[in-house]
Amino acid sequence: MTATPLPAVDRTLGVTAPRGFRAGAATCGVKASGRPDLAVLAADADVPAAALFTTNRVVGAAVQVSREHLARRRTMRGVVATSGNANTCTGPQGLADAREILAGVARELGCPADALLLAQTGIIGRPMPMDKVRPGIRPACAALAAGPQADAAFVQAIMTTDTRPKQAGVRLDLAGHTVTVAGATKGVGMIEPNMATTLSFLTTDAAVGPDLLHAMLRAAADQTYHCLTVDGHASTSDTLALLASGAAMPGGRPVAEGSAEAAALQAALTAVCADLAYQIAADAEGGTKVIEVLVTGAATDAEARAAARAIANSPLVKCAFFGRDPNWGRIVSAAGAAGISSRPETMRLALGDVVVFEGGVPVAADAQALARVMAGHDIRAHLDLGAGPGQARYLTCDFSYDYVKINAEYTT
């Protein structure tokens, strides 16, 4: 939980809102829908970069190559993304294809290939159709521009089954400079919704060194992306990348760790990530509601997290929210099975502002008030375990017929 209150975000700000970045896209035909599927985000020069990747042991070729590049150098020229094929479980050929894509973009940008990160999302276990991707590289790079249209082109090209583009930004004053933090993300399958594959690309024109940038990205992710679940199935391609051009602070000193500027920038970054994560939950496959699971009073933050995650991932809890059923026994029992050390006698559960369980016994709740809470689109379930200072917050969605439809009826 952050101490600093988070600033409001502006969803008209996309990845090129911070100075020093351009974006472009092309349609290669990897997606069966015929929508744009190759996206390039380029900084004007090599800039400090940080990225977090999936912790899945089975990872796509893009994640392997990107990790390799980030291990070799701390500044990057840009990021390339393809959608429609995850290039995962594709062996040595998949790796070669990933490298070939980056080599092609590097030629156009005039940078070394290892100054680029790659992210890929889509079906697992199919070879990359390189005959389609190759011809798209030059047009995508030729289209590089800054501004709302470029932002829109970029975010469209990373979508799979997303029904809405997802971007957000924050402008803030940093030691007299107007700085912008912005990002674009995608989440949840396509015609091949293999998994809730999240790709997220963040930019800022603040001047930040790579170490602090990485620490800030991790802190933001821990409170946002790492507390988001649609179906508990971690993808093989998840990538969260952040580039910092410094273009809004020409001649200024980079933001220093522990400074007031660092705190303000962290809050802006966390606010952007929180809003992008919210947009993913709100567009989740088959989801009709966004559920915020807040657990407080746990013995430790880790226990709070385990309880929040168990509640957010329980199909029984998610189905109840879909059915507007205030079936709080499912919430309490999901927490109880999560390895926590609390006892029901000290627990207190509220749905919205209606307390339903306290001190080990049901509370006679106002049925009409409860029905109003359950009918809402955004619902908070707040479980206080009454055992200590630990807390955690998870964001999830409900579970509907459409989740089953989307994930059963598509056939490989």
Residues 375-404 that bind its own copies (CB under 8 A): 399-401, 403-404
CA angle 164, 200, 219 (to 5 degrees): 125
| Burial zone of 353 (CB within 10 Å; 0-12 exposed, 13-18 middle, 19+ buried) | exposed
Residue (210 or 286) nearer to its own copies, CB: 286
Helical ranges in 18-122 per DSSP H: 61-72, 91-109
C-alpha 287/C-alpha 57 separation (Å) is 28
Q: Which is nearer to its own copies, 246 or 286 (CB)?
A: 286
- The nearer residue to its own copies, 1 or 404, going by C-beta atoms, is 404
Q: Does 82 bind its own copies (CB under 8 A)?
A: no
Nearer to its own copies, 368 or 411 (CB): 411
Interacting span for its own copies (CB under 8 A) from 210-218, 234-242, 243-251, 275-283: 234-242
Beta-carbon contacts of residue 361 (< 8 Å; ≥ 6 apart): none
User: Contact with its own copies (CB under 8 A): which of 129, 333, 380, 386?
Assistant: 333
Comparison of 359 and 376: residue with beta carbon closer to its own copies = 359
DSSP 114: G
CB of 337 to its own copies, least distance (A): 4
Per CB under 8 A, which of residues 236..265 are in contact with its own copies?
236
Asked whether position 405 contacts its own copies by CB under 8 A, the answer is: yes
Which residue in the list 54, 90, 185, 197 is annotated as catalytic?
Answer: 197
Binding range to its own copies, per CB under 8 A, among 5-13, 81-89, 169-177, 261-269: 81-89
Residue 8 DSSP class: P
User: The sheet that has 354-358: what strands, in order across it?
Assistant: 361-362, 354-358, 348-351, 378-384, 290-298, 390-397
- Of 84-92, 97-105, 158-166, 253-261, the window that binds its own copies (rule: CB under 8 A) is 84-92
Q: Cβ of residue 336: shortest distance to its own copies, in angstroms?
A: 3
- For the bound state, the minimum distance from the C-beta of residue 69 to its own copies, rounded and expressed in Å, comes to 20
Least gap, CB of 102 to its own copies (angstroms):
21
Least Cα distance to 200 among 109, 111, 280 occurs for: 280
| Alpha-carbon separation of residue 233 from 18, 384, 393 (angstroms) | 33, 27, 18
Instruction: Check residue 369 for interaction with its own copies (CB under 8 A).
Output: no
> CB 383 → its own copies: shortest distance, Å?
11
Q: How many helices (H) and strands (E) does the chain have?
A: 12, 14
Stretch touching its own copies by CB under 8 A, among 34-42, 176-184, 269-277, 313-321: 313-321
Cβ 113 to its own copies shortest distance, Å:
23
Among 8, 34, 55, 131, binds its own copies (CB under 8 A): 55
Buried b (16+ CB within 10 A) or exposed e, 72-94: eebebbbbbbbbbbbbbebeeeb
Q: By CB under 8 A, what part of segment 122-161 binds its own copies?
A: 123-126
Q: Which stretch binds its own copies (CB under 8 A): 9-17, 172-180, 262-270, 338-346?
A: 338-346
| 166-195 footprint of its own copies as x/- string (CB under 8 A) | -----------------------xx-xxxx
How many residues contact its own copies, by CB under 8 A?
Answer: 75
Neighbours of 214 (CB within 10 A): 19
> Which member of 135, 252, 344, 386 binds its own copies (CB under 8 A)?
344
Closest C-alpha to 76, from 198, 236, 221, 239: 239
Instruction: Count the neighbouring beta carbons within 10 Å of the beta carbon of residue 386.
Output: 17
Using CA atoms, how far residue 84 sits from 106, 354, 367, in Å, is 22, 44, 46
Task: Rule CB under 8 A: say whether 53 interacts with its own copies.
Answer: no
Q: Which residue from 4, 12, 93, 178 is in contact with its own copies, where contact means CB under 8 A?
A: 93
Binder among 21, 201, 278, 328 for its own copies (CB under 8 A): 328
Q: Is 379 left (phi over 0), alpha (psi -120 to 50) or beta?
A: beta
Asked if residue 224 binds its own copies (CB under 8 A), the reply is no
Determine whether 197 is an active site residue: yes
Closest contact distance (angstroms) between CB of 195 and its own copies is 6
Residue type, 89: C
Degrees, nearest 5: CA angle 224-225-228: 90
- Choose between 86 and 153: whose C-beta lies nearer to its own copies: 86
CA distances from 260 to 158, 221, 245, 266, 325 (A): 34, 20, 20, 10, 45
Which of 200, 222, 188, 215 lies closest to 119, judged by CA?
A: 200
Catalytic residue positions, numbered: 197
